[in-house]
Chains A and B, each alone.
Chain A
């Protein structure tokens, strides 16, 4: 995993329309590894989509990446991803498919969700959970918001790393 304060891995992945997306080009980029069927990812989903909406005016980009093996877990297929996007569940957040799982490996992502915040220079500034309790919507992705506020102010987040909580990423059998 890239250490806090070190450059984050770059990547180019297709969204549900086949458009290649890359991190960067923004004062801060949020990379969220997530999926369609994990209860933790679903419980936190609205809170993380809210981040994209609330920070859009400040130029923050949010990229959601599904790294799960869609052959063994058809609910994470590109078609199933597209259905969620078309249903409006991502509200403009690109939902990318990491078919090779190379990006998840490069980030050493562990769970869905697993959240990373990159600054304007694509340096990793935060990694972990969106907030402290998936069951409590009032927490409002506070870890992530605090990290973004710090990065946008040019500061290091006071809490730069938390334990990611969620379902394990569904790696391909050879892994």
Chain B
């Protein structure tokens, strides 16, 4: 975020603790990273719940976190589309 001129302290962390809370928040697993409410790695058909999310790095490896390059691209895109 700092690379893109954003303040890392503006990140909000929400802990989802129950299945009902997951459903209410549309939470499909941990970690879920949203920028202005938009998932940085949107997927379809995933059930809501206290799951572990599976991401794929750009080289195909499975990872518990998104590829940093995907996160950087999502941030850049969000910056461009902001009013």
Residues on B with beta carbons closer than 8 Å to the beta carbon of A43: 61-64
Q: Among the listed stretches A14-22, A69-77, A140-148, which one makes contact with chain B, having 4 or more residues with CB under 8 Å of it?
A: A69-77
CB–CB B51/A39 < 8 A: no
Query: How many B residues touch A, CB cutoff 8 Å?
Result: 14
A135 part of interface (Cβ distance < 8 Å): yes
Is A5 positioned at the interface, with any CB of B under 8 Å from its CB?
Answer: no
**Complex interface: chain B residues within 8 A of A74 (CB):** 47
Check: B73 CB closer than 8 A to any chain A CB: no
B25 to chain A, nearest CB (A): 17
Contact B52 A39, beta carbon cutoff 8 Å:
yes
Contact with B along A74-87 (1 / 0, CB 8 A): 11000000000000
Judge whether B61 and A37 touch: CB under 8 Å: no
Contact between B49 and A39, CB atoms less than 8 A apart: no
CB neighbours (8 Å) of A73 from chain B are 49, 51
- A40 proximity list for chain B (CB < 8 A): 52, 64
The one of B49, B53, B55 in contact with A72, judged by C-beta atoms closer than 8 angstroms, is B49
In the complex, the number of residue pairs spanning A and B with C-beta atoms less than 8 Å apart equals 33
> A42: CB under 8 A from chain B?
yes
A38 touches B63 (CB 8 A): no
A13 within 8 A of B: no
B61 and A167 form a contact (CB under 8 A): no
Q: Would A39 and B64 count as touching, CB distance under 8 A?
A: yes
Q: Other CB < 8 Å A-B pairs besides A39-B62, A43-B62, 20 of them?
A: A37-B51, A37-B52, A37-B54, A39-B52, A39-B53, A39-B55, A39-B63, A40-B52, A42-B54, A43-B61, A43-B64, A72-B19, A72-B49, A72-B50, A73-B49, A73-B51, A74-B47, A135-B63, A167-B52, A167-B64
Q: List 24 A-B contacts (CB under 8 A).
A: A37-B51, A37-B54, A38-B52, A38-B54, A39-B52, A39-B53, A39-B55, A39-B62, A39-B63, A39-B64, A40-B52, A42-B54, A43-B61, A43-B62, A43-B64, A72-B19, A72-B49, A72-B50, A74-B47, A75-B51, A135-B61, A135-B63, A167-B52, A167-B64
Q: A residues bordering B, Cβ < 8 Å?
A: 37-40, 42-43, 72-75, 135, 137, 167
